Chains A and B, each alone.
Chain A
Amino acid sequence: MSVVVANRLTHWFGHDMALDSVDLVVDAGEHMAVLGDNGAGKTTLLRVLATALRPTSGTVEIAGLNAFREKRRLRHYLGYVGHTLGLYPALTAAENLEFFCDLQGVDRARVDGVLDIVGLRGDAHRRAGQLSRGMQQRLAIARAVLHEPRLLILDEPDASLGADAADLLATVMRNRTVVLATHDHSLANRLCPRTLNLRHGRSVGTATRLHVVK
């Protein structure tokens, strides 16, 4: 069963075309990597799939629902880690997550468990603004899985994560449908059986398992 079906997604920023008729199908439980150079349209595509950005034209269906007409119903279903992390620097790591528990309507008791998964349990009471960039990235990942979403959209989640990035991501991606954008081909190869390649906003094909030439 397909969880994400995107048809002819096109998006313009003023006179610049960021996405050009991109089609995408992601099946339930599948992990797909979106690859491409800077400016290829990865972030735009992921923001559209996360319903954070309405495309100029084209349609997106998530779990059989029109992603933009029914976006509020899809919020429980979706977890998103964006390029910018959107954390509150004056709040502690735990307070950031507790705040989003209230907004997601989930029990605050989940916070400790999620901090454990991303390895931030010991830093729960440090302000987000005092955490390193990698720790902030972990906190953003923790926030994205707080409500146990079935679909996870990750925009360069490995940025600043360090050596155990792949293990952490493999843990949070388990039993979920995932669309992940990255520059790291070896990470994509390890975590995602299928890839979508973008160039200048256009899909230049999908592939299964990359062969990385060292």
Chain B
Amino acid sequence: MNPFRVAVAVAIKDLRSEWRTRELVPALAQFIVLALLIANFGFQIDARDAPQIVPGVLWLALVFAGLVAFGRTFSAEREQASLEAMMLTPASPIAIFAGKAVAATALLILCEAVLVPALSLFFGTALDPGVVFAVLLATVGMAALGCLFAALVARVRARELLLPLLTLPLWIPFIIAGGQAVQAALGLPGNYDEAVGLLIDFDILFVVLTSLAARYVLDE
């Protein structure tokens, strides 16, 4: 049994399902645009104070879009009872988890492809590759954690409430390091390389930890 083949099959299956149903990405993209619109009017941002406020708006929009995206990864499987069918195959739970996390990450990256240019459009900040890189790095670790907790809460009734309660505290390191990286990339004081280094460390730590925990979460 090749775990790589399993992970690829799971990821392709999820992406194909999303492509055909278009349940998640259009709604999330719409949510992101609305969040930016509200922030734009709410904060009365001008060109001078945009770099101070934009990182906060970016991470708020990303965090809430991420919660919705990762919450759907396992709740849809539970609703149609297909997770049990998957778990009754000899496929490794870690490979199944990896496939689902990769697909959720890809979907969130699609939403980020709307978010980052829209930020630039609404707030007049430069479309900096440093911002894109920091957001992508944070997405990896956030996806690993988000998918693990989504799998954990998928079987309980109050999952929509529990997922943010469990996930948000553990996303804080990504928001702090990511926020610093984005601020530095937008020309505010701060060390970009140091913040990106931290993001990479967090990614490695949480990807390894969630992979180890996934077996127990999915199996039982």
Which A residues contact B (CB, under 8 angstroms)?
A: 50-52, 54, 72, 75-76, 78, 80, 82, 84-91, 95, 99-100, 102-105, 127, 143
B residues less than 8 Å from A51 (CB atoms) = 88
Q: Is A103 a contact partner of B21 (Cβ separation < 8 A)?
A: no
Complex CA–CA separation, A86 to B87 (angstroms): 11
B5 an interface residue at 8 Å Cβ cutoff? Answer: yes
Complex CA–CA separation, A51 to B89 (angstroms): 11
Min CB–CB distance B113 → chain A (angstroms): 22
19 residue pairs bridging A and B, Cβ less than 8 Å apart: A72-B90, A75-B88, A82-B85, A85-B81, A86-B81, A86-B82, A86-B84, A87-B80, A87-B85, A90-B17, A91-B16, A100-B89, A102-B6, A103-B89, A103-B91, A104-B89, A104-B90, A104-B91, A105-B90
Q: Is A91 a contact partner of B17 (Cβ separation < 8 A)?
A: yes
B residues less than 8 Å from A102 (CB atoms) = 5-6, 8-9, 91
Please count how many residues in chain B sit with their CB below 8 Å of the partner chain's CB atoms. 26
Complex CA–CA separation, A84 to B83 (angstroms): 11
Complex CA–CA separation, A52 to B81 (angstroms): 12
Complex CA–CA separation, A91 to B16 (angstroms): 8
- List 5 tightest A-B contacts by C-beta distance, closest first: A86-B85, A102-B9, A84-B81, A75-B90, A103-B89
Q: Is B89 a contact partner of A75 (Cβ separation < 8 A)?
A: yes
Which of A52, A87, A88, A89 sits near B88, CB closer than 8 Å?
Answer: A52
Complex CA–CA separation, A50 to B82 (angstroms): 15
Most chain-A CB neighbours within 10 Å: which of B1, B5, B21, B96?
B1
B residues less than 8 Å from A95 (CB atoms) = 13, 16
Q: Is B81 a contact partner of A91 (Cβ separation < 8 A)?
A: no
Q: Known: A84-B81, A85-B81, A87-B80. Is A78-B88 also a contact (CB below 8 A)?
A: yes
Q: Is B16 a contact partner of A143 (Cβ separation < 8 A)?
A: no
